[in-house]
Structure 1
């Protein structure tokens, strides 16, 4: 199991990024969370098997159709053993 934290910049709020991310994570069988940040970025954490987690990291580079992703920061972290994927505040 691996964990990645991503910070996504661009037009990523108000374009259904979080809900689309939640649905993509469920399909990939990845757990974690996603939230909007006050500075306009989206932050997400993905935990699971390496291939599905990396698939979700790749997904954040484009996001849903209305998103315009300018930059993605990826940080490796120790897994916490999360059980679900949630949209948080």
Structure 2
């Protein structure tokens, strides 16, 4: 089990990024959360198997169809043991 925090920049708010992220996470068996930040970026936390988290990290680099991702910052963190995946 691993924990990754990502901050995604670009045209990522108002394009269903959070909802699509939640659906992709549930499909991959990843837990955590996603939220919009005041600076126009989206922050997300992914926890799960290395393979499942890597799927979500790859997805975050492109986002949903209407998004234009220009940057993704990834950092490690301690596993928190989330149940499910939520939009905050």
TM-score tier by shorter-chain length is: over 0.9
CA root-mean-square deviation: 0.4
Counterparts of 1:34 and 1:16 in 2: how far apart (Å)? 12
The structural deviation recorded for 1:84 is 1.0
Q: Which structure 1 residue ranges, 5 or more long, are not aligned?
A: none
Q: Which residues of 2 match residues 1-89 of structure 1 at below 5 A?
A: 1-88=1-88
- Please list every run of at least 4 consecutive aligned residues from structure 1 whose deviation after the TM superposition is greater than 6 angstroms: none
Aligned residues: 88
TM-score, with structure 1 as normaliser: 0.98
Q: Which structure 2 residue ranges, 5 or more long, are not aligned?
A: none
Residues 50-70 of structure 1 show CA distances to partners (whole Å, capped at 9, x for unaligned) of 100011011000000000000
Counterparts of 2:78 and 2:51 in 1: how far apart (Å)? 16
